[in-house]
């Protein structure tokens, strides 16, 4: 796998393999240790456990299977096919199953939001026999731009079902306001527009409004480079998490604990990477110490949005041929 000239080609050619990449991406993000502040294989929160995440991940796989099978039937030779992908209804159905099968609350809504458009774009690439990363980026943008107002309505319903922590309130189109649905319909606010409106305070929204620039331009190349250097999936996972944290203040942390806390975490992630991340004894020790420090705040210093982006990075890495 070359890092030069965007020379990446999708390595799979079936829905089954696409679903394998999808499930593995969420699971590998979850088990990465020690991702500071997250639930991981050695740390639970008070009311949310490692097992809740595993259950949530597995519970939504049938939803992704149906999503893939239904959308694979389309030709994608016209705009209507892209319009009818129905990201929003998928968000809602997957969120319902996530919440139905475990009692730990919202565990992977961020994964659902990040992975669904990537899966849709990959599906189109497979359908059209277009396997270069440029094709994936093109279809990803088309999928997002073609999403409808109905998709936005269903996104809001999914968020209400999941009831994620630190969501806050805004003056217009607030997800908790009963009148927001009417406003969204009246103003014709599709997914692209709603994410553009919130991109300054939410990293997932920033990804939707920028063609997933953090995942494609920062996380994915760094993950591949790190994996090729160490041939260790856990080092690639945790160091990429630290890399994204060092470059972007986690917006979940900002909403729960303020900008200063997020800046501090980014600074510590940058310092740890100067020592090689978890690939060195000192870097690993510093990472464990940061994890212990953040865990004391019982989830309020959890860089969960960064973890969501990481699931997309790992998905792309598996898609383009990473095996371990």
Domain contains 305: yes
Q: How confident is residue 176, by pLDDT bands cut at 50, 70 and 90?
A: confident
How far is CA 246 from each of CA 219, 233, 266, 300, rounded to the nearest angstrom?
A: 11, 20, 4, 18
Using a 10 angstrom Cβ sphere, with 0-12 exposed, 13-18 middle and 19 or more buried, the burial of residue 103 is exposed
pLDDT, residue 2, reads 44
Q: How confident is residue 7, by pLDDT bands cut at 50, 70 and 90?
A: confident
Nearest to 222 by CA among 208, 207, 239, 206: 239
pLDDT, residue 257, reads 97
Domain contains 217: yes
- Rounded to whole angstroms, the Cα distance separating 10 from 315 reads 11
Domain contains 235: yes
Residue 40 sits in a domain whose CATH number is: 1.10.4200.10
Domain contains 87: yes
Quote the percentage of the chain above a pLDDT of 70: 97
Domain contains 324: no
pLDDT at 5 over 60: no
Q: How many structural domains is the chain composed of?
A: 1
pLDDT, residue 258, reads 97
3-state secondary structure of 132: strand
pLDDT, residue 164, reads 87
How do residues 81-118 score in pLDDT, each as one tens digit? 999 999 999 999 999 999 999 999 999 999 999 999 99
pLDDT, residue 215, reads 98
- Rounded to whole angstroms, the Cα distance separating 282 from 279 reads 9
How do residues 275-317 score in pLDDT, each as one tens digit? 999 999 999 999 999 999 999 999 999 999 999 999 999 999 9
- CB atoms closer than 10 angstroms to residue 129: 8
Q: Give strand pairing partners of 40.
A: 43
Q: What are phi and psi of 153, to 5 degrees?
A: -60, -45
Q: How confident is residue 168, by pLDDT bands cut at 50, 70 and 90?
A: low
Helices in 163-231 by DSSP H: which ranges? 180-187, 191-197, 203-209, 213, 220-230
- Rounded to whole angstroms, the Cα distance separating 161 from 249 reads 26
Domain contains 156: yes
pLDDT at 16 over 80: yes
**Residue located via tokens 């969120």:** 95
Give me the domain span that covers residue 308: 4-319
Q: Contact at 8 Å (CB) between 25 and 318?
A: yes
């Amino acid at each position: 796998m070359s890092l030069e000239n965007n020379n990446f080609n999708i390595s799979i050619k079936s829905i089954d393999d696409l679903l394998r990449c999808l499930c593995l991406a969420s699971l590998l993000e979850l088990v990465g240790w020690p991702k500071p502040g997250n639930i991981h294989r050695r740390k639970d929160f008070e009311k949310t456990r490692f097992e809740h995440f595993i259950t949530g991940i597995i519970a939504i796989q049938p939803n992704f299977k149906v999503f893939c099978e239904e959308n694979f039937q389309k030709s994608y030779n016209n705009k209507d096919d892209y319009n009818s992908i129905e990201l929003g209804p998928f968000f809602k159905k997957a969120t319902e199953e996530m919440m139905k099968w475990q009692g730990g609350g919202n565990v992977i809504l961020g994964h659902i939001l990040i992975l669904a458009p990537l899966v849709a774009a990959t599906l189109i690439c497979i359908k059209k026999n277009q396997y270069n990363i440029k094709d994936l980026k093109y279809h990803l943008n088309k999928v997002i731009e073609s999403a409808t107002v109905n998709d936005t309505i269903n996104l809001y319903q999914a968020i209400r079902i999941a009831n994620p922590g630190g969501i806050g309130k805004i003056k217009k189109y607030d997800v908790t306001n009963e009148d927001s649905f009417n406003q969204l319909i009246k103003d014709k606010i599709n997914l692209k527009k709603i994410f553009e409106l919130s991109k300054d305070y939410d990293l997932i929204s920033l990804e939707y409004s920028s063609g997933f620039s953090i995942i494609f331009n920062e996380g994915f190349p760094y993950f591949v480079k790190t994996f090729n250097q160490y041939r260790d999936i856990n080092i690639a996972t945790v160091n990429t998490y630290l890399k994204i944290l060092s470059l972007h203040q986690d917006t979940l942390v900002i909403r729960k604990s303020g900008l200063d806390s997020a800046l501090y975490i980014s600074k510590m992630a940058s310092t740890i990477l100067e020592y090689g991340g978890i690939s060195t004894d000192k870097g690993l020790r510093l990472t464990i110490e940061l994890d212990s420090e953040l865990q004391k705040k019982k989830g309020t210093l959890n860089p969960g949005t960064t973890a969501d982006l990481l699931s997309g990075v790992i998905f792309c890495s598996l898609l383009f041929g990473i095996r371990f």
